[in-house]
Amino acid sequence: MTSQRKRTVILISGRGSNMAALIDAAADPAFPAEIVGVISDKADAAGLGIAASRGIATKVVTRADHASKDAHDAAIHSALATFGAEIVALAGYMRLLTAGFVEKWQGRMINIHPALLPSFKGLDTHQRALDAGIRVHGCTVHFVTAAMDDGPIIAQAAVPVLIDDDEPTLSARVLKAEHRLYPLALRLFAEGKVRMEGNRTAFSGFADTVGQDEIAAPNPAREEIDLEQLARITP
Ligand code: GRF
């Protein structure tokens, strides 16, 4: 089993709470991905200490140490190769990757975004969601393509936007969903149940709605109950 686990490297820039959720999930030897390293583009990323305390190898590759964006991405690519990465998981990596780098890892690189894509690509998703007055918000795990926050969607989780929410309360609710969703999505990817095919995600090994709660929450098998719940909190 151990030898079949997919060697996964996480790229971070900061706090690293999603990284920690992935590391914790992969601490189970039955999890199909093994976290073999964490790379940060920021030397002071808090996530580096968390990874080290969990016994995960870390490497800092800063933009300032490289002459160009291409050279920076090339250094990250070679760090990934040194780790023997089979999967790259972006978790709060705050730098746009070059098209050349993305092409090398396309179909093997995933990201978590704090909104229900294709809505609210980019930054400040929670404040923009509040400003737009939407009643349902959430997070998305998707394959990374050259266009920002645009690759094929693997899994999404929705949370309600409550009437008196502000940015801190809404982002905390979404973050909690992120910490559940990302390990589920990585597991599905590592065990071969999802793969990127052109500009779509192909799914296999899902019998019917049973099991699909892994890729969409609220669970589609309980859609009526969940919609009733949502209706109760949505004015
Ligand atoms: C998360 O909200 C993630 O969705 C976004 O950046 C944030 C990173 O937070 N891409 P953390 O570093 O995982 O705590």
pLDDT at position 216: 72
Ligand 1 centroid to Cα of residue 223, in Å, is 28
Ligand 1 centroid to Cα of residue 179, in Å, is 10
pLDDT at position 2: 46
pLDDT at position 57: 98
Q: Does the CB atom of residue 128 touch ligand 1 within 6 A?
A: no
pLDDT at position 235: 47
pLDDT at position 206: 80
Q: Does the CB atom of residue 17 touch ligand 1 within 6 A?
A: yes
126 in catalytic set: no
Ligand 1 centroid to Cα of residue 207, in Å, is 32
Q: Which of 96, 175, 180 to mutate to test the pocket of ligand 1 (most atoms within 8 A of CB)?
A: 175
pLDDT at position 220: 60
- The pLDDT averaged over each successive group of 10 residues in the chain (235 residues) is 83 98 98 98 98 98 98 98 98 97 98 98 98 97 96 96 96 97 97 96 79 66 57 52
pLDDT at position 5: 98
Instruction: Classify 91 as helix, strand or coil.
Output: coil
Long-range contacts of 155-160 (CB under 8 A, 24+ apart): 155/181, 155/184, 155/185, 155/188, 155/214, 155/215, 155/216, 156/116, 156/117, 156/181, 156/215, 156/216, 156/217, 157/181, 157/216, 157/217, 158/116, 158/217, 158/218, 160/135, 160/136, 160/230, 160/233, 160/234
pLDDT at position 1: 46
Q: Does the CB atom of residue 48 touch ligand 1 within 6 A?
A: no
